[in-house]
Amino acid sequence: MAEPEFSARGVRIARWPRSLTRAGEVRIEDGRLALLTSYGSEIDSAPVSAVRAGRPWFAKSDETVATVNGTKYRLTLQDHDRGRDDGSQASGRFLAALKRASGRS
Better pLDDT: 85 or 60: 60
CATH level 3 topology of 6-102: PH-domain like (2.30.29)
Residues 6+ apart with CB under 8 A from 65: 53, 54, 55, 56, 59, 72, 73, 74, 75
**Is the full-model pTM beyond 0.85?**
yes
Domain positions in the chain: 6-102
Q: What is the DSSP letter of 3?
A: P
pLDDT tens-digit series, residues 3-36 = 889 999 999 999 988 999 999 999 999 999 999 9
